[in-house]
Amino acid sequence: MVTAVLPTESAAPSRDPLRLVPIVANLLPPEIAKRRQVRKVRRRVISAFALVVVLMASWYGFASYQTMEAQAALDRVEGETKVVIAQQGLYTELVTVQAESARIDGQLGTLMATDLRWSSVLIGLLQAAPKGVDLGGVAAALDDAAAADGATPAATPGEEKIGTISLTGLANDKAAIADYVEKIDKLPGLGNTLITSVATAEERFQFNLEAEINASALGGRFTTATPDPAPAAASPVPSPSQAGVG
């Protein structure tokens, strides 16, 4: 028995003679494809390298600009320094005189460290005298040991004894003498005042006082500014020869 097999619909030829058969085939040789891929990678590498070169050139240009600005500023400062040095040369003599003056002040400060302004002490004693007390004579001297130590008010702020001062005078009564002793103890640089003797003289009392001179009485000329007190208005200041200052 003969059996006829008919082809399926999909296998049947198309009745449209102009139909394009969808056939895809890569006929490009592998060598050409690899060559194109290499070119593409090369272009990317060259582009990245060019970008790096451009960035480096920009950075170098900016650094060079900053270097030139800094060099210009340095040149300006050096020029100003030269001008100042040249101007200082005009005042060399003045600078020398100032240095010499400072050296002399230092020597005077050392020399006069133990100097005591007797005029200030005498003025203070005259001003401290109460009514009814007449100061007759003053005799004072510094201890040799204190002068050798070179003590100054700044170096020895205490009340170290550096000398002794003796006073003679007349008073109307003993109360005035005691008042005078208290006032002497309050004077700067003096203290521990003692009454050594009191005697009657022509209806008045003749007294002798003795007080200690401490370090705060030192004048410190050329080391510290110590203004002189105002002159006493009640009575004139006796000269050292009249007051008996030793």
State residue 90's pLDDT score.
Answer: 79
State residue 245's pLDDT score.
Answer: 40
Q: Count CA atoms closer than 13 A to 174's CA, side-chain side.
A: 5
DSSP state of 7: P
What separation in angstroms does the CA of 22 have from each of 8, 19, 68, 166?
A: 20, 9, 71, 143
Q: Is the pTM of this model over 0.85?
A: no
Burial class of residue 115, CB neighbours in 10 A (0-12, 13-18, 19+): middle
- CATH topology for 118-243? Gyrase A; domain 2 (3.30.1360)
Residue stretches of the chain with pLDDT short of 50: 1-2, 147-148, 150-156, 225-246
State residue 9's pLDDT score.
Answer: 53
State residue 62's pLDDT score.
Answer: 92
DSSP state of 218: B
